[in-house]
Amino acid sequence: MSAGDAERAAVNDPASEPTAILPESAAELVQVEQLQLALAQAEERAKSNRDQYLRALAEIENVRKRSQRDVESASRYGIEKLVGELLPVKDSLQLAVENAGRADVRSLIEGQEATLKLLSKAFEKLGIVEIDPIGQPFDPARHEALTAQESATAEPNSVLQVVQKGYELNGRLLRPARVIVSKA
């Protein structure tokens, strides 16, 4: 066989042509259509799920940024309430200093008492509680013993004297009360 004959045979040979897959029956045709419809629905669900995922991702990023701004704001302005409560105390002290040269002792004492009341009121509004444990049993979690002293009247291991009061903020110890404790 010559080269031209081989070429003609290849062109006329049905096995050398690409064949399309055609369904052999109507049932197969219906099944192909159903599969194509199911594929289109699955692709639509996939697209919808991807959109939802991208929206959720964007929302999470927005929440993260908003939280970061809130934390920054809280760290900058978190003591605003404290400062607002302490400003009247400073004003009172400043007034006392300015008038110290021309005021009598009685008015100075009254001014100091008024300033102390302002400060106590500010502490109360801020949730700061004073620890004054005189006569109570010694508690090493809330008290700092400076020394132990013998006492005929007090029970052993109780607070005889408070040298410096302690403070708590909403149940959290800020400073322990410094005390003198009785010993047996």
- The answer as to whether 19 is a domain residue is no
**CATH value at residue 174:** 2.30.22.10
Q: What pTM, to 2 d.p., does this model score?
A: 0.58
Whether residue 16 has pLDDT greater than 70: no
Task: Please count the other Cβ atoms lying within 10 Å of the Cβ belonging to residue 139.
Answer: 14
Tokens of 107: 């008015």
In a domain, 121, yes or no: no
**153: in domain:** yes
Full domain range(s) for residue 160: 128-184
What is the number of domains present in the chain? 1
Whether 29 is covered by a domain: the verdict is no
In a domain, 15, yes or no: no
58 within some domain: no
The reply to whether 159 falls in a domain is yes
Mean pLDDT of 83-98: 88
Which tokens go with 62? 């927005």
Average pLDDT over all residues of the chain: 86
Q: Residue holding tokens 């006492």?
A: 151
Angle, alpha carbons 107-112-117 (nearest 5°): 125
Distances 120 to 18, 124, 145 between C-alpha atoms, Å: 96, 6, 25
Largest CA distance in the chain: 137
